[in-house]
Structure 1
Amino acid sequence: MKDTVPPTAPSSANVGKFQDPFVTADGSERASVPLSHPETLWFNTGTLCNIECENCYILSSPTNDALVYLTLAEMVPYLDQIGERKWPVREIGFTGGEPFMNPDMIAMTRAALERGFDVLILTNAMRPMMRKSMRQGLIDLNTAFPGKITMRVSLDHFRPALHDKERGTGTFDKTLEGMGWLRDNGFRMAVAGRTVWGESEEQSRAGYQAFFKQNGFEIDALNPGQTVLFPEMDMTVEVPEITTSCWGILKKKPAEVMCASSRMVVKRKGADHPTVLACTLLAYDKEFELGETLKDAERDVQLNHPHCAKFCVLGGASCSA
């Protein structure tokens, strides 16, 4: 399989910026974020996916195994470390790739639920999730741990043509089938969409609300935790660097930024051990690799990437439920 990794260097739009972890291009002190309240621990199950989207931020595809499948045996020690480090984690998140391509997916979900955590799974709700073994495993878990699993389905738009433009012809119908199965089997659902269609947020949410009502999905389109609308992470767009003075100017607190409350565990192809990253959005940038343990990952994160500015500080993004 090919090892495909997206570029991490700043584009020409940001020449001279995001070079020094501690100082911005104009010589100001770069803002940083301490891990003030770790609420979500993410596990990337691997970058392999059943489809290849037009603008996947992590370049997931049927051939990209830059992040390999995480195993149950590799995951469990991190659940132990949560208790050892006394992290107030309430939620375990699984992302990919497509998590249901990982053969240990049901076992890893069960391990998190048995520890008392809520579980959030990001999925396209297509064939990998709809395999008989996965469906039965999910039903068993949802029966044993009612209300503890949230399935966040990637639905880029409520109009089939726009969703299919991003994910491929026919994908909307397959995702809708999966969502119907989740609905009929009593699963809690959320949706992740995109904001690149030239619509206002109000228009987007109204469209999703009508779509949910039409299909009997108990998802609140007006609740950002249930219907998450992500901006495109375009590296060609110029963004400002975030300095320490920005917090006061923007009236924003470091604790509101995603890396104040979460970390992500991944395993790189060829690595002997998993590693902990500062952010779910920067899976390939070694600067945001914090170490092999949760103790290593307790250090501050320097906001030294365009995504830190555009997506998290200025855009106010959050990946948790």
Structure 2
Amino acid sequence: MKDNAASAANIGKFQDKLVTADGQTRASVALKNPETLWFNTGTLCNIECQNCYILSSPSNDALVYITADEVRDYLDQIEERNWPVREIGFTGGEPFMNPEMIEMTRAALERGFEVLILTNAMVPMMRRKMREGLLELQRRYGDKLTLRISVDHHNSDLHDEERGKGSFKKTVTGMEWLRDNGFRMAVAGRTVWGDSDADSRAGYAAFFEKHGFDIDAQNPAQTVLFPEMDETVEVPEITTSCWGILDKSPDAVMCSNARMVVKRRGADKPAVLACTLLAYEPAFEMGTTLAEAEADVHLNHPHCAKFCVLGGASCSG
């Protein structure tokens, strides 16, 4: 149903890699400054959200668990390709479902990278093995490790509307444990309810103050408010002339500075994607190596326009 609605909203658009529906040259983005390499740890998650962009759930293993050895291979490739990466990001699914999560994090931290883990801070993170592993990493690399917690809304009822009854309380419990043990935290919220940016940040500021969380609600890197990715809404195609019209540089778009590694169910090797948001789009799969992933990215998807170019969003820390 959603696919049909999406097709109707953008009929005739996003068909040709190089040309828009009205015959103009489609915008593309070069990999100018690869500063973040993301690893999708697998699409399995302990919960199933209403509007999960990657369809994570307790049963979706379309992207299987990536291993620590596979992560190390790409860390080697970063060095071989001389990419100026400063940050390794881990996303899911829920990263702490992956049994090698601590080992993967350690592999990145040992090489001097900053590490950002996206988590719901619920039961998978709070298992004893994960807590013990996190505490050891915190002691050795605390200034390099950040956990970004998914708090869809600062109001518990609205958060639970997306993530299930009782989710907010469990997430807060996890955040309190992280707070008490000195971990650096950030928060990812969503704009699906239509709050203004100022109102959202004021609400998060009150939430952080109430719980003693050392997170700056006014800092977009610490409190990230993601625009919604609704494919049923009509969006414009981005042409080469749009950069000047919008007074925006392609260097500001996420695919100019990031790539994501995934492992598909049944695949022999992981693959490198142009974007963290388009895990199921074959056109955005660039090969199995970082060398192949250095190609330009053509903005041939509604998310490219709404989320990245017009929405100005970025998954990086």
Scaled by the length of structure 1, the TM-score of the pair is: 0.97
Q: Does 1:311 align with 2:307?
A: yes
Q: Distance in 2 between matches of 1:241 and 1:67?
A: 29
2:135: which partner in 1? 139
1:15 to 11, 16, 20: 11
Q: Distance in 2 between matches of 1:276 and 1:256?
A: 20
Q: Distance in 1 between matches of 2:101 and 2:267?
A: 20
Q: Distance in 2 between matches of 1:119 and 1:197?
A: 30
Give matches, 1:203-214, under 5 Å.
203-214=199-210
Q: Distance in 2 between matches of 1:83 and 1:97?
A: 27
2:230: which partner in 1? 234
Q: Name the % identity.
A: 73
Query: 1:10 touches 1:17 (CA, 8 Å); kept in 2?
Result: no
Cα distance per residue 1:178-227 (max 9 Å; x no partner): 00000000000000000111210000000000110111000000000000
Q: Distance in 2 between matches of 1:229 and 1:61?
A: 22
2:24: which partner in 1? 28
1:247: which partner in 2? 243
Please give the root-mean-square deviation of Cα atoms over the aligned residues, in Å: 1.1
Structure 2, unmatched stretches of 5+, are none
Following superposition, the deviation at residue 231 of structure 1 comes to: 1.3
1:154: which partner in 2? 150
Cα distance per residue 1:38-80 (max 9 Å; x no partner): 0000000000000000000000000000000000111111000
2:42: which partner in 1? 46
2:103: which partner in 1? 107
Q: Does 1:297 align with 2:296?
A: no
Cα distance per residue 1:236-274 (max 9 Å; x no partner): 000000000000000000000000000000000110000
Q: Distance in 1 between matches of 2:283 and 2:238?
A: 17
1:18 corresponds to which letter in structure 2? F
1:258 to 254, 261, 270: 254
Q: Distance in 2 between matches of 1:7 and 1:14?
A: 11
Query: 2:142 touches 2:184 (CA, 8 Å); kept in 1?
Result: no
1:281 to 277, 282, 292: 277
Secondary structure of the residue that 1:120 maps to in structure 2? strand
Q: Return structure 1 stretches of 4+ with deviation > 6 angstroms.
A: none
Q: Distance in 2 between matches of 1:7 and 1:276?
A: 25
2:63: which partner in 1? 67
Secondary structure of the residue that 1:317 maps to in structure 2? coil
Query: 2:237 touches 2:305 (CA, 8 Å); kept in 1?
Result: yes
Q: Distance in 2 between matches of 1:249 and 1:165?
A: 38
2:196: which partner in 1? 200
Scaled by the length of structure 2, the TM-score of the pair is: 0.98
Q: Distance in 1 between matches of 2:156 and 2:6?
A: 34
1:125 to 108, 121, 131: 121
Q: Compared with structure 1, are the counterparts of its residues 231 and 86 closer, same or farther at alpha carbon in structure 2 (3 Å cutoff)?
A: same
Query: 1:48 touches 1:63 (CA, 8 Å); kept in 2?
Result: yes
Q: Distance in 1 between matches of 2:153 and 2:290?
A: 36
Q: Distance in 2 between matches of 1:147 and 1:125?
A: 19
